[in-house]
Amino acid sequence: MVHNGIEYGLMEIIAETYDLMKRGMGLTDEDLETIYTQWAAGDTNSYLLEITARIFAEVDQKTGRKLINVILDEAKQKGTGKWTSQSAMDLQIPVPTIDAAVAMRDLSAFKEVRGAVSKIYENKIGRVREGRDTFLPRLRNAYYSAALITYAQGMALLRTASQTYAYHLDLEEIARIWRGGCIIRAAVLEDLRAAYRTNSDLANLLLDPELSARLKERVKDLRLVVQEAAFTGVPAPALAASLAYFDGYRSAWLPANLIQAQRDYFGAHTYERTDEKGIFHTVWEKG
């Protein structure tokens, strides 16, 4: 199930890069075939990128057009992504990229409403402000970063599920099995295996020294790509959620103190203090 949840996340991330290149940059299907073929080599190699490149080459027998352009833009699902998100919520493990992927499949199904809303807001997609030679390597790095962060979410879920339900999962072995042959097989799984070989109880892949060094090099491009998506109006919630997950974990401080204060204000739900152990409640000055 978690394999499929990661699969949903990776597919949505690839779809968002497609949208940025198609509507944001005006690239052709031939360009996309070439670019995804390049991405499918080297350290971004994955089965999903390989098939994506081939998809852009396929010609429809009925119309002679590229098949991709006659496929209806409504994603279906059999539910394993949703199930992953539900299980993650139950275990209180954040998997925001997978959540975003499920939400976008759901949203895609509202094609008629999307058509009506697009007329009201005259959605003209802006052009990516950087040239092809600068933006395409950036987008590849953004893909690498977001994909790695998606694996991190899925593995963190498996780790907690294993602890909670006494599954005794061997995460290195899981990465090895996935590397061997499945829809989410990818070169980066070798690095995941190495990370779990070094520390079989790694709390989050973001902590691994090798992976964090790679992420540090590339995550700035994820940030710039998310900025560009917001600027152009290309919806990219899985890329944005991956970045927010990274930024959240990178924050030694988060504004959750305000949430605790609000909870205590309106519901006397109490809070803990930074300078003293215990549970506290304040009788707040109410204006």
Residues that bind ligand 3PG (CB under 6 A): 4, 7, 77-78, 80, 183
| Contact yes or no for 35/136 (Cβ under 8 A) | yes
Please identify, using beta-carbon distances, which residue of 106 and 272 lies nearer to ligand 3PG. Answer: 106
Question: Would you say 34 or 77 has its CB closer to ligand 3PG?
Answer: 77
Residue with tokens 């031939």: 30
Alpha helical stretches, state H, 46-184 = 47-55, 80-91, 96-108, 111-121, 132-165, 171-180
CB of 77 to ligand 3PG, least distance (A): 4
To the nearest whole angstrom, how small is the minimum distance from the Cβ of residue 266 to ligand 3PG? Answer: 39
Name every residue whose Cβ is closer than 8 Å to that of residue 171 and which is 6 or more positions away in sequence.
155, 158, 159, 192, 196, 200, 202
Amino acid at residue number 246: F
Start-to-end CA distance of the chain, whole Å, equals: 50
CA–CA separation, 200 vs 151, rounded Å? Answer: 16
**10 vs 122: CA distance, rounded Å:** 29
Cβ proximity to ligand 3PG: between 40 and 98 the closer is 98
Which C-beta is closer to ligand 3PG: that of 76 or that of 119?
76
Q: Pick the closer one to ligand 3PG by CB: 55 or 224.
A: 55
Q: Are 111 and 73 in contact (CB under 8 A)?
A: yes
> In angstroms, what is the minimal distance from the CB of 174 to ligand 3PG?
16
CB of 164 to ligand 3PG, least distance (A): 25
Instruction: Please report how close the Cβ of residue 3 comes to ligand 3PG at its closest, in angstroms.
Output: 8
